[in-house]
Amino acid sequence: MDMPTTTRDASAKLRHFDDLPGPPTWPFFGNLLQIESTRLHLQLEQWCEQYGSIFRLKLGSRRAIVVGDHELIARALRDRPDGFRRTTRLEAVWNEMGLLGGVFGATGETWKRQRRMVMASFDPGHVRRFFPQLHRVAERLVGRWQLAALHGTEIDLQADLMRYTVDAIAGLAFGSDVNTLQSDEDVIQRHLNRIFPALFKRLFAPLPLWRWLPSAEDRALQRSVAEVNAAVDGFIAQARARLQADPALRERPGNLLEAMLVAADEPGSGIDDQQVAGNVLVMLLAGEDTTANSVAWMVHLLWQNPQALAQATAEVRRVCGDAVAPTLEQVGQLDYVEACAHEAMRLKPVAPQNGMQALRDTTLGDVQVSTGMIVLAVMRRDAVSERHVPNAAAFDPARWLGEGTAQQSASAAKRISMPFGAGPRICPGRYLALLEMKMAIAVLLNNFELQQVGTVDGQAPREKLQLAMAPEGLRMRLRARAGAPQPVSALAA
């Protein structure tokens, strides 16, 4: 028998979709004309304050329940993949764009098979073995920023961090030295950057105009998807060739893709190369956008909080000494920097909402959720609420360390903030993401002095949602730290 997502008193009266409050709807379109996709998360948070922690939306013919209560959200997330799945709308748009399927959108038994393969490849032991490649990429980032500091050039922070994460994921995951940091050849990055924004925009489009009147942007997207899929096929072909040439790699894979292929080749895995390709694509997309945006938000918040910046800088320089980029052991000692990362993700989660679809009749609180109904989880609401987290609006990394009076705050923050999701579908790359974040901050603070971080107009960076939430227009100026070591792989003058 299916169990409800939440427990309740048997005599309590359940509310149904039509009983819920919500913003007024239009005929045929429902609430679609009111939705601004790039600020949807802010709209959902605002509507939560207006209509309560559970309210309704109509997305054309689709019915959606919006949930802003962290306990109900956590229980729904833990009920995946049996009780909830990714939405069929996401799957349809993803497939129509010509994107290969992977664990991100898979459901049921397909998801379970792929999840085992992906989790095996993201095993911390594998990631630690690939660390030298991340170290090399970090040195290149230092070289790029040293040139900017030398010439007094303003840095487009998000763009440079996208280069860093593309190079890191290509090296760690595929054994490919893409090296966008040391050149202006960012073709794969430009192609990747088109995909998430288009996907998210189409999810909430009132009409599929791209089918009838494709724009120049739509045609460019089609070319980019074809180029990225071809690159993915190339990564897999190269990995297959390496495994065939060196059978020892099956015992000690050289990168995450080789580890995935080894897992896929196990008898009874049920995984073929097309499914591996789908997960390679997900690694590229998610590994670029989410980590780069998280680091950018972290730099912004450190700049806005000088005491935290000073403490993080002191820790980095004490631990890393005269190293251009830290060793894996040194990264593991950066406890305060890691706390800064968690606090940045609490305040500025790159996935501030999470969409699910019910696979069976169930309940959320006192609300009946019917099979096929969409649930939109508002992930940040409770994590920044004084009702749940003491001094919630403050950037206070100490709350993650549980120091002194921060113990209560630490417990609340750890329980409520879910930047990587929760339950069986929690992000498999969270260990790698934290490693990349700590590495980027370490090389920044050990080699440079921050001179300015902000936007051209001096306002706080706008939160722009394009599946992942990015800081819009964030720029940075650096000065090389006196006596800082020179990276071996610095850009040639």
- Give the Cα separation of 256 and 169 in Å (integer): 9
Residue 51 confidence (pLDDT):
97
Contact 200, 466 (CB under 8 A): yes
Q: How far is CA 110 from CA 78, 104, 114, 116, 427, in A?
A: 18, 11, 6, 10, 17
Residue 289's nearest CA partner among 159, 396, 122 is: 159
- Give pairs for 399-403: CB < 8 Å, separation 24+: 399/339, 399/343, 400/338, 400/339, 400/342, 400/343, 401/335, 401/336, 401/339
Adjacent-strand bridge partners of 452: 477
- Give the Cα separation of 94 and 364 in Å (integer): 28
Q: How far is CA 425 from CA 156, 162, 264, 279, 404, in A?
A: 33, 25, 19, 14, 34
Residue 33 confidence (pLDDT):
94
- Give the Cα separation of 119 and 126 in Å (integer): 11
Domain ranges of the chain: 17-379+418-480
Whole-model pTM over 0.75: yes
Contact 471, 463 (CB under 8 A): yes
- Written as tens digits, the pLDDT of the chain (493 aa) is 344 444 444 446 899 999 999 999 999 999 999 999 999 999 999 999 999 999 999 999 999 999 999 999 999 999 988 899 889 998 899 889 998 776 566 666 666 666 666 776 677 776 787 788 899 999 999 999 999 999 999 999 999 999 999 888 888 777 777 778 877 665 677 888 888 889 989 999 999 999 999 999 999 999 999 988 888 888 889 999 999 999 999 888 877 788 888 888 888 777 778 878 887 777 777 777 789 999 999 999 999 999 999 999 999 999 999 999 999 999 999 999 999 999 999 999 999 999 999 999 999 999 999 999 999 999 999 999 999 999 999 999 999 997 544 455 556 677 899 988 888 777 777 888 899 999 999 999 999 999 999 999 999 999 999 888 999 999 999 999 987 666 544 443 3
Residue 22 confidence (pLDDT):
97
Residue 7 confidence (pLDDT):
44
User: What's the CA angle centered on 346, arms 432 and 193, to 5 degrees?
Assistant: 55
Residue 96's nearest CA partner among 175, 214, 13 is: 214
Q: How far is CA 329 from CA 128, 264, 267, 333, in A?
A: 10, 31, 36, 7
Contact 23, 31 (CB under 8 A): yes
The encoded tokens of residue 329 equal 């052991």
The encoded tokens of residue 129 equal 């073995």
- Give the Cα separation of 130 and 491 in Å (integer): 23
DSSP 219-275: HHHHHHHHHHHHHHHHHHHHHHHHHHH-GGGGTS-SSHHHHHHHHHTSTT----HHH
- Give the Cα separation of 50 and 349 in Å (integer): 22
Burial of 431 (0-12, 13-18, 19+ CB in 10 A): middle
Residue 30 confidence (pLDDT):
95
Torsions phi, psi for 457 (to 5 deg)? -90, 5
Residue 109's nearest CA partner among 356, 263, 275, 221 is: 275
DSSP 186-231: -HHHHHHHHHHHHHHHHHT-SS-HHHHS--HHHHHHHHHHHHHHHH
The residue type at 145? W
The matching CATH number, chosen from 1.10.3210.10, 1.10.630.10, 2.60.120.10, 3.40.190.10, for 17-379+418-480 is 1.10.630.10
Residue 125 confidence (pLDDT):
75
The contacts of residue 169 (CB under 8 Å, 6+ apart) are: 283, 284, 287, 288
- Give the Cα separation of 443 and 218 in Å (integer): 38
